[in-house]
Each structure stands twice: as structure tokens, then as C-alpha cells.
Amino acid sequence: MANILNGTLSQMNLSEILKLLMSGNKTGKLELSKENKKGEIYLKDGAILYAKWNNKSGADALYELMTWMNGDFNFIPDAAMDNIAKDMFDMGLQNIDEWSKIISEEWNNIRKIIPTTNVVFKIAANKTPKDVNLRAEEWKILANINGAKNVEEIAESIGFSEFDTSRTIYRLYKEGLIEESEKPRPPANELVNGNFFHLLEDALVKVMGPMASIIIEEKIGMLKHDKNAFPKIRLAKLIEYISSDISDETKRISFQQAMLNVIKNI
């Protein structure tokens, strides 16, 4: 059986693929996969007859599949629909357009609060929401919000789709129950020890020669800090200041690379 269409959903979303297949009156199976998960949509003469995803089937499964923003798709023409007796439906282009519009509007709202699934939330400490009624799935997600797990990890741990998880988190955020947690940054009062300046001087001597220590002292002074009490949070700024004195671009980037490795490891 020859594949006629495959690719990635990040470049062509499911509603566009379905519209293409439906307007061409295609018959076959559209397979969708993301990591180890797999969904299927069956079409006959351009109409969607059946969909399967996770433990859902029929229209529910199709709606969830349409919320996927990434993953791979693969259309197998004329694939047979084996052993399907229930949850069959007949969906036309107009319904796909309507669903696509609803999902797209909902994603646009969610994205204002959750721009990527790397975002981490924590319980809102300074807000006291009034009476709140939570549904079971909202409680399940709230119980996983701990200032450490990101949205993707929460979805993974409770077995919800990214869309459902994001949608629920969006609601919890709007209710004032949770707030975004910053990725950990070094505390402003955390200081570097003397070993850092030895490594800095070694790296700078390689590109600037014996003037290295003078340049370092000068730049620390410009930042109004002291070598004995230099805050970690200002290290990148210091490296940037020092780099501005290295005129050779190759040497400058090589110095920056070396110092980035040092910063990451302290």
C-alpha cells in the first residue's frame, strides 16, 4: 500500500489535512503519532467515519486529536476499517471547520497564560480565592502543581492530553488558585568564591595576555562590586563587559564559551 501523504502537524495542522483529504473524496486511514502514542481516523469517500485515540473513540477521539499541535501524520489510502461496529459517525467539512475554529480560539486564549508546555506553576500564595468548586480532573491537576513540574510533565504523570491539561490549568489560573513560577535563578545574594576568579583569569590570559588581571579588576569596579563579594547573578554581565575588550571575534567567542561552561558549573 503506497503512502500518499505524510509529514508533521507543526507544519500542517490536522484540520488542514482532513480538509485536503475530504475535498479529494479520499478513502483510507490517517494515522497520527506523537512519541509512543498513536491515533487513527478513517475516511470513506471524503467523509470521516471513525476515529480512535487513547481509550476514546468516535467524535470524542476526533476532537482530542484535533487539539494536537505536534506529532506526525501518515495517510494510508484504501486501508480497511476492521472490527469497527460502534461510535461510527459521518462528519463533513463544515463540522471540521467549526471544530477547528473553536479549538484555535481556545488555544489562543490558553497561549496567553501558557505560551509553552515548559511553563511551571505553583499554588498562588498571596491570593485568597472565594469559594471554589473543583471538578475531579481539576483537583487531579491542582494536586500536581508544585512549582517544579511543568505543564508537559503534569500531563504525562496523570495521563491527560496536553490540551486538556493546559485548558484546566488555564481555568485554575483564571480562578486565582495558581500562578506562574519562575525557572530557578541564583538568589540575588548568592556570591561566587575565589576559585571562579582564578578560572576567569586563566581563560582571559589565553586571549589577552598579562593584562588580564587588570582588566578583570577594572570591569568589577565598573559593576560597583568587589572581587571578594561578587554576586552570581552578575557573572554574565561581567563576562560581557570583559568580552567587549577582546577585539578578535574568534578569541572573544572562545573566551565566552569557556566562561559559560564555568558559570553553568558553579
Partner 1 sequence: MQDKLNEINSIAGVMDSVLVNKNGSIVSSQQSPFLTQSLLESIGREVMQLDAAIDAAGEGIKGFDLLYDYGRVIVQKGSNFYLVVLCKSSVDTSLLRLTLNVVLKDLNEKRVSRGSSGIRMFNMT
- The least distance separating partner 1 from the CB of residue 12, rounded to whole angstroms, comes to 5
Binding status of residue 2 toward partner 1 by CB under 8 A: yes
Q: What secondary structure letter does DSSP report for 228? A: G
Torsion (CA) 20, 23, 24, 28 in degrees, nearest 10: 70
- The least distance separating partner 1 from the CB of residue 170, rounded to whole angstroms, comes to 12
The residues in 185-214 that bind partner 1, with binding defined as CB under 8 A, are 185
**What does the alpha-carbon distance between residue 4 and residue 266 come to, in Å, rounded to a whole number?**
53
Name which position in 243, 245, 251, 262 contacts partner 1 (CB under 8 A).
243
Please name every residue paired with 231 in a beta bridge, in sequence order, or none if there are none.
191
C-alpha torsion sign, points 68, 72, 78, 79 = negative
Q: Could you tell me the three cell numbers for 256?
A: 565566552
Give the x-and-dash track for 92-121 against partner 1 (CB under 8 A): ------------x--x--xxx-xxxxxx--
The residues in 115-154 that bind partner 1, with binding defined as CB under 8 A, are 115-119
Give the x-and-dash track for 23-62 against partner 1 (CB under 8 A): ----------------------------------------
Q: How many CB atoms lie within 10 A of CB 58?
A: 18
**Residues with Cβ within 8 Å of residue 6, at least 6 apart in sequence:** 72, 73, 74, 75
Name which position in 6, 25, 193, 228 contacts partner 1 (CB under 8 A).
6
Binding status of residue 233 toward partner 1 by CB under 8 A: yes
Q: Could you tell me the three cell numbers for 134?
A: 473543583
- The least distance separating partner 1 from the CB of residue 228, rounded to whole angstroms, comes to 22
**Residues with Cβ within 8 Å of residue 59, at least 6 apart in sequence:** 51, 87, 89, 91
Helix or strand or coil: residue 24? Answer: coil
Select 132 or 266, whichever has its Cβ closest to partner 1.
Answer: 266
Binding residues (CB under 8 A) for partner 1: these are: 2-8, 10-13, 16, 68-70, 77, 104, 107, 110-112, 114-119, 162-163, 166, 182-185, 233, 236-237, 239-240, 243, 252-253, 256-257, 259-260, 263
